[in-house]
Amino acid sequence: MTTTIILHIEASTEVCSVALSQDGQVFFERVNREERSHAKVLAPFVEEAIKVADEQGAKINAVALSCGPGSYTSLRIASSTAKGVCYGRNIPLIAIPTTAIMCVPVLFRDDLPEEALLCPMIDARRNEVYATVYDRALGVMKETHAEVVTGESFKEFLDRGPVYFFGNGAGKCSTIINHPNAHFLQEYQHPLAKNMMPLGERAWFNEQFEDIAYFEPFYLKNFVATKPKELLKNF
């Protein structure tokens, strides 16, 4: 029987994680929650995962990458690492939207109504978030966008039924969005590589692969370099 092994890489937010899955089961996972350390820990995590697979005589069939939105620098690090593995092993690249990954553990909740909409939020600093609105089948109801949060945000969905907000950008919105149909889930803060498994395997079976040479993460916003504050006084 042919098995499918996928290497999952998630480094779009403060948390960096790597996982291996085989036919619907995660059998390896590494997670680092230390901020600003992706450049230091991601490559060793990936090397360890590859070593585990090789020692078991298992062939990695594809790399699944959490493709954003998120931190510009972190996405570039993760993308370069994923591409390197794909080129080195001649295997395909799968790109999965970060906000879709965030939805996976929420969908396993027993108390989630059938008509519920999901709105994962990634902190974009100040009063802005990167957000997507999904239905329970992960159909996109509103495309990923940068939302400046006000009391009227997502009202067109909230007026129709329950909307569940979660992610590291949802906390600051809980005092701004006061609609009775708004539900805030504090326990789902960050996307994790292990939660990529069902989406990665679905993409594999549907042969939804990226052109590695031209692939770029979904940054949503262009990177803007700024001068360190301590240097500004000299100019």
Inside any domain, residue 235: no
Tell me which residue range forms the domain holding 90.
Answer: 5-98+191-230
Report how far residue 224's alpha carbon sits from residue 99's, in angstroms, rounded to the nearest whole number: 23
Q: Which of 169, 185, 201 lies at the terminal end of a domain, its last residue?
A: 185
127 falls within a domain? yes
Q: Is residue 213 part of a domain?
A: yes
Given a cut of 80, whether residue 113 has pLDDT beyond it is yes
Which residue from 196, 191, 218 is spatially nearest to 6, judged by alpha carbons? 196
**At 91, is the secondary structure helix, strand, or coil?**
coil
Based on the fold, state whether residues 149 and 68 are members of the same structural domain.
Answer: no
Q: Does pLDDT of 120 surpass 70?
A: yes
Q: Compute the average pLDDT of residues 144-153.
A: 97
> According to the model, what pLDDT value does residue 220 have?
84
- 114 plus 91 within the same structural domain: no
Q: Domain of 155: which CATH number?
A: 3.30.420.40
Same domain, 39 and 82: yes
Residue 223 has a pLDDT of 43
Give how many domains the chain has, as a whole number: 2
168 lies in some domain = yes
pLDDT, tens digit, for every residue of 157-208? Answer: 999 999 999 999 999 999 999 999 999 999 999 999 999 999 999 999 999 9
Residues 208-212 have a mean pLDDT of 98
Q: Tens of pLDDT along 55-109?
A: 999 999 999 999 999 999 999 999 999 999 999 999 999 999 999 999 999 999 9
Contact between 8 and 85 under an 8 Å Cβ cutoff? The reply is no
pLDDT in tens, 6-33: 999 999 999 999 999 999 999 999 999 9
In this prediction, residue 1 has a pLDDT band, given cuts at 50, 70 and 90, of: low
Q: What's the rounded Cα separation, in Å, for the pair 12 and 10?
A: 6
The overall average pLDDT reported for the chain is 93
Q: Is 133:154 a contact under the CB 8 Å cutoff?
A: yes
| pLDDT-derived band at 136, boundaries 50, 70, 90 | very high
- Residue 222: the pLDDT is 53
Q: Is the pLDDT of residue 235 over 60?
A: no
Mind listing the pLDDT tens digit for each residue in 63-75? 999 999 999 999 9
**For the whole model, what pTM was predicted?**
0.92
Residue 145 maps to a domain: yes
124 and 59 part of one domain: no
Same domain? For 9 and 61 the reply is: yes
* 23 within domain boundaries: yes
CA gap 184, 163 in Å, rounded: 9
